[in-house]
Amino acid sequence: MALNKWMIAEGGLELLAKGGLENLSIRKLADHFGIKSASLYYHFRNKQQLLDHVADVMVRPAWREVRDDESWDEWLPDVAFRLRRQILAFPDGALLYAGASPPADLLDERLALLYAPFLKAGMSREVVRRVILTFIRFTIGWATDEQVADDRGVGREAGVSDIDFEFGLRTIVLGVKALLDQSRPSS
């Protein structure tokens, strides 16, 4: 079977699921496929490029297009919750995603998907960039806090984190709406 970068990234995600970032090494991944470590460098220039692809495979189920009948402020919280769930489904998922960038061959596709709901609402590309960075960084930070607390055995009341996360998302949405209202010319 000939391997490609996405098959390798899926294998990396399996290793992440079994033991977090500590388990995701080039050597262990090569062993997983029964190949030499050097063979992985045919597909990836370095370990960071591999990690970027593993992170992309991890969060891919979170991304979805905006529906025709859906506004950006309906779409954003749903996608943020989906992203958080995907990240939390894997040990060290938040740390992996925090240090990742979309793979170069998917960057335009990912940006188009993320920008679409906001551009449809008439926001400028610069405002959209800032909104996306805010929601992604908020989500990563929240998930990191949850994973660190879980790793340290800090108990949390079930559902409280979801409620607090939703509050934070609503605050971001209301803040963006207020900024947009301020930037509209008055009639």
Least confident span in 65-79, 119-133, 145-159, 164-178: 145-159
Q: Are 75 and 113 in contact (CB under 8 A)?
A: no
* pTM for the model: 0.90
Same domain, 18 and 85: no
- Of 146, 134, 24, nearest to 85 (Cα)? 146
Domain boundary among 56, 73, 98: 56
Q: Rounded to an integer, what is the distance from CA 181 to the centroid of its chain?
A: 29
Q: Is 178 exposed, middle or buried (0-12, 13-18, 19+ CB in 10 A)?
A: exposed
Sorting pLDDT into bands at 50, 70 and 90, what band is 2?
A: confident
Q: What is the CATH number of the domain that holds 146?
A: 1.10.357.10
Q: Are 57 and 86 in contact (CB under 8 A)?
A: no
Structure tokens given for 31: 């062993």
Same domain, 37 and 86: no
Same domain, 171 and 143: yes
Same domain, 80 and 116: yes
Helix, strand and coil content of the chain, in percent to the nearest 5, comes to 75, 0, 25
Structure tokens given for 113: 């998907």
Same domain, 116 and 156: yes
State residue 52's pLDDT score.
96
- Expressed as residue numbers, the domain containing 68 is 62-183
Same domain, 52 and 67: no
Domain boundary among 33, 56, 79: 56
Q: Are 29 and 15 in contact (CB under 8 A)?
A: yes
Sorting pLDDT into bands at 50, 70 and 90, what band is 156?
A: low
Longest Cα–Cα distance in the chain = 68
Q: What is the CATH number of the domain that holds 51?
A: 1.10.10.60
Q: Are 40 and 12 in contact (CB under 8 A)?
A: no
Same domain, 76 and 161: yes
Which residues contact residue 14 at a Cβ distance below 8 angstroms, ignoring those fewer than 6 apart? 32
Residue type, 136: I
* Tens-place pLDDT, residues 75-115: 999 999 999 999 999 999 999 999 999 998 899 999 999 99
- CA dist 141 to 33, 62, 63, 120, 158, Å? 33, 17, 18, 28, 19
- Of 137, 121, 132, nearest to 183 (Cα)? 121
Domain count across the chain: 2
* Tens-place pLDDT, residues 124-142: 999 999 999 999 999 999 9
- Of 100, 101, 103, 90, nearest to 143 (Cα)? 90
State residue 187's pLDDT score.
57
